[in-house]
Amino acid sequence: MELYFYKLHGLGNDMIVVDGRGGALPERELARIARRLCNRRTGIGGDCLLVAAESDIADIRMRVFNSDGTEAQMCGNGIRCFSRVVYEAGWIPYDGFTVETLSGVKKPQLLLMDGKVMSVRVDMGVPAFLTGDVPMDCGEETFIRQPITAAGREFIATAVNTGIPQLVVFTDDVRSLDIEKYGLPLEHHEFFPEKTNVSFCEIEDRRSVILRTWERGCGATLCCGTGATAVAAACIKSGLTDKVVNVLVPLGRLRIEWDGVNNIYMSGPAEKVFEGTAYLD
């Protein structure tokens, strides 16, 4: 089978976008295709596969498959990259379109220059702090700046859902922290029945936070859009930062805006790397 693809990244969080509309890809094969294409030695290489599909409630649907083949509700960097392909490939020939995800309908706002998408601002919805919405099973209504232990170390953390479950872990040594050591046990912590992303962060000042990410189903990645959104939401919720936060990652920054009550907004780049044809047996 020949499959045309687009390879993009959002600040180093890389992904593959394919068109699965019209039954082009068999449902039973999607997990295998994701594992095959995302493999960095025998495939294209990527943190996830984004599959376009028809939608009954939006202009188009985005399905997210992690590199291990599991399906995720949402991908913050992914929706920016997906939106760029949707517009520039002409799948939807106008901006202002809506995208269905498993975490609800999103409406990206495209910043265009000469017909090219320079950056994307996404309404990420209202952050959910109730543990039942994360979901998190810890016996508390919320989990905000509470202790949690992994691999013999206690951290202070906040749980929030910004499209997928997120655990925001506060630390003062984020650059040197061994996130491989702590990320996996926190992802699989008994508190999280559906596992969780883990966003390790260090507050630099009232407007800047440094982020390193561990994504469920992927492992360590260079950036996570829902994670950056969660970090900003957790900081704003606790009064640790202003309501506009620059979340700093190794390859740049995401801008997060939240008034503390209503919808939260994420803005950032979507860089195209290459496109071509993959051959699948």
Q: What is the pLDDT of residues 235-245, one digit of tens each?
A: 999 999 999 99
CA dist., res. 141 & res. 131, Å (int): 6
Q: Please say if the pLDDT value at position 269 is more than 90.
A: yes
Angstrom CA distances, 3 to 60, 84, 85, 207, 278, stand at 19, 19, 15, 43, 5
Query: Mean pLDDT score of the chain, rounded to an integer?
Result: 96
Q: What is the pLDDT of residues 25-37, one digit of tens each?
A: 999 999 999 999 9
Region 86-90: mean pLDDT is 96
Can you give the pLDDT at residue 1?
Answer: 86
Q: Please say if the pLDDT value at position 276 is more than 90.
A: yes
Quick one: which of 79, 70, 76, 84 has its CA closest to 34?
70
Phi, psi of 195 (to 5 degrees): 65, 180
What is the set of active-site residues?
Answer: 75, 224
Q: What is the pLDDT of residues 187-201, one digit of tens each?
A: 999 999 999 999 999
Percent residues over pLDDT 90 in the chain: 96
52's torsion region: left (phi>0), alpha (psi -120 to 50) or beta?
beta
Please report, for the chain, the start and end positions of each structural domain, with discontinuous segments joined by +. Answer: 2-123+269-279, 146-262
Q: Please say if the pLDDT value at position 48 is more than 90.
A: yes
Q: What is the pLDDT of residues 51-79, one digit of tens each?
A: 999 999 999 999 999 999 999 999 999 99
Show the DSSP H helices in the chain as ranges: 30-38, 76-88, 179-187, 225-237
Strands 244-249 vs 208-215: parallel, antiparallel or unpaired: parallel
Region 140-144: mean pLDDT is 98
106: part of which helix (H) or strand (E)? strand 104-106
Class of CATH domain 146-262: alpha beta
Q: Name the pLDDT band for 104 (thresholds 50, 70, 90).
A: very high
Can you give the pLDDT at residue 281?
Answer: 78
Q: Name the pLDDT band for 251 (thresholds 50, 70, 90).
A: very high
Q: Name the pLDDT band for 10 (thresholds 50, 70, 90).
A: very high
Quick one: which of 2, 43, 57 has its CA closest to 24?
2
Can you give the pLDDT at residue 78?
Answer: 97
Assigned CATH topology for domain 2-123+269-279: Diaminopimelate Epimerase; Chain A, domain 1 (3.10.310)
Can you give the pLDDT at residue 24?
Answer: 84
3-state class of 17 per DSSP? Answer: strand
Report whether the peptide linkage leading into residue 135 is cis, meaning its omega lies within 30 degrees of zero. Answer: yes
Q: Name the pLDDT band for 274 (thresholds 50, 70, 90).
A: very high
Are domains 2-123+269-279 and 146-262 of this chain identical in fold?
yes
CB under 8 Å to 255, separation ≥6 — which residues? 244, 245, 246, 247, 266, 267, 268
